[in-house]
Amino acid sequence: MSGLQLVEWKSLVRHEGNKTLWHVAWSRNAQLVATCGADRSVAVWDAHTGLLLGGIGGGVFERTVRTVDWSAEGTRLALACFDGQVRIFRLERGGGAEATVLRADDRLAGGSHGTQRSVSSGAVVGDGSVGMEMVSECCGGGVRGGADEAGVVARTAAAAAAPIPTDVPTVADDGASAYQLAPYLTLHLVARLEGHESEVKCAAFSPSGTLLATCSRDKTVWIWECGTDGDDATDFECVAVLAGHTQDVKSLTWHPEREMIASASYDNTVRLWCEDLLDGEWYCCATLTGHESTVWSVAFEPLVGDDHEARLLSGGGDGQVVVWRLEEPEADAKTNSEATSAASVTSNASHLTSWNRTREQRWMVEWRVHANADDRGFADEEDEPVYSVDWSPCGRYVAAASADGAVRVYDANTAAMVAQRRHAHRGAEVNCVRFRPRCVVEADLDEAIRTRIAAEAGDEGDREALMLASAGDDGTARLWLLL
């Protein structure tokens, strides 16, 4: 294993009674972190300070919120709920009747630098970049360190007065519910998406922000078309219901550039779905059957190029982390036949570059590892499920979180484990891991990270650092530096 290590940066503690924390999601500009858990609440944090801004209390939802996801522009938040609904909130400046819509060039710090419009107009939410100066101004400076001995985020006296998730919303001009995050931010409920017949397990915005994919215990994947500007930003229309999985669909991931998604299921498979540009119909373009148990999580490689198609990462109940690559159809028939058999891949559709159903698409196993390989072989040790996987924004590393309580990072090309934290959540199972995306505005955050690197890594302090967030059964979210 290389000299890299996972160093705990901050511990985010809010969800009640140490109940399971299911999911954590970075905003696209990496300045906010949203979490959800078994206490049926959603919390929003300032990623720079670790300060709890607020959220939505558990009394609002009848059942668990399973996942959260930010849209590409950074101010729409999708909640996948076990009551069969998907709720869409948008982030707005201010609170109640004074709330205003954020524009794409609107920074919160230092007042209004962009155009504003009333919430009641139903206008689009823009970039939503949260200036760290504003956090300090409104909340007393926030956190400059990790957790105290009790595991609770340390705060200044002023910061401790920050609002917490509440069951009592304010009422916006249009009569919908709004939830105050801080004196300068509000979450406004703009849509409820209904149609799934059972628990919704995941909701994910496409990189363009124009589509939303949802999946459910009802074995289906739904594609929703959503606007990105003006009044259309709150309009959602179902354009496809995709059936093919024979068991619950657990998670989804979007291709970084194409209208294509991968879905993971209890039926031990990953299915890939494409939109045929000739007729606009969505169809299953490949089924990957290399896992021996439930596939819990999937993630596409974020980088693609003229000579490099995005690879796919998956983690399963069999304890395996698998990287898949697209096999070019031009390969000779013998090679294709042998490779397809070895990887156990079935396919019914096209190559990505052709976008029709006349050419076969094959996804091959590039490498696979058992996450808890160090413990295998003992009589009392079995393969621990890998619940979550993610790809670093630079494409160099992949991360996996598992039931054995560990967070592990692998080299995406060699499969070598480069870092691990065995008891990442004090021995509790780890349910989610997410790399911090590349920041749009990151000067303040990176300065704090550079200071920490200098203290932790000594002479190697100039090394580029990546940050991860994880969520566990101990009811906490933790931010890590990969040094």
Q: Is residue 363 part of a domain?
A: yes
Of 29-38, 340-349, 362-371, which range is least confident? 340-349
- Residues 76 and 69: their CA atoms lie apart, in Å, by 8
Q: Is residue 122 part of a domain?
A: no
Dihedral of alpha carbons 69, 73, 74, 76, sign: negative
Q: What is the pLDDT of residue 139?
A: 31
Q: Is residue 56 part of a domain?
A: yes
Mean pLDDT highest for which of 7-16, 44-53, 236-245, 373-382? 236-245
Q: How many domains does the chain have?
A: 1
Sheet with 260-265, side-by-side order of all strands = 249-254, 260-265, 270-275, 282-288, 345-346
Q: Is the pLDDT of residue 110 over 60?
A: no
- 108 vs 304, which has greater pLDDT? 304
Mean pLDDT computed over 324-340: 57
Cα separation of the two ends of the chain: 13
Sequence-distant (6+) residues with CB within 8 A of 409 are: 4, 6, 397, 398, 399, 400, 417, 418, 419, 420, 468, 482
Mean pLDDT computed over 88-106: 59
- Residues 42 and 52: their CA atoms lie apart, in Å, by 11
Mean pLDDT computed over 188-211: 94
355-370 confidence digits (pLDDT tens): 455 555 789 999 999 9
Q: Is the pLDDT of residue 135 over 50?
A: no
Nearest to 296 by CA among 256, 254, 264, 257: 264
Strand-pairing partners, residue 145, are none
Please state, in angstroms and as integers, the Cα–Cα distance from residue 337 to each residue in 311, 326, 332, 412, following that order.
20, 14, 9, 26
Q: Is residue 1 part of a domain?
A: no
Q: Is residue 280 part of a domain?
A: yes
Q: What pLDDT band is residue 154 in, cutting at 50, 70 and 90?
A: very low
- 124 vs 2, which has greater pLDDT? 2
- Residues 401 and 387: their CA atoms lie apart, in Å, by 6
Q: Is residue 109 part of a domain?
A: no
Q: Is the pLDDT of residue 446 over 50?
A: yes
Q: Is the pLDDT of residue 157 over 70?
A: no
Q: Is residue 114 part of a domain?
A: no
Residue 367 belongs to domain with CATH number: 2.130.10.10
Mean pLDDT computed over 62-79: 93
Q: What pLDDT band is residue 73 in, cutting at 50, 70 and 90?
A: confident
Q: Residue 426: what residue type?
A: R
Q: What is the pLDDT of residue 69?
A: 97
Q: Is residue 182 part of a domain?
A: yes
Q: What is the pLDDT of residue 94?
A: 65
Give the residue numbers spanning the domain of 55.
6-94+142-482
| Average pLDDT of the chain, as a whole number | 75
Mean pLDDT computed over 77-97: 85
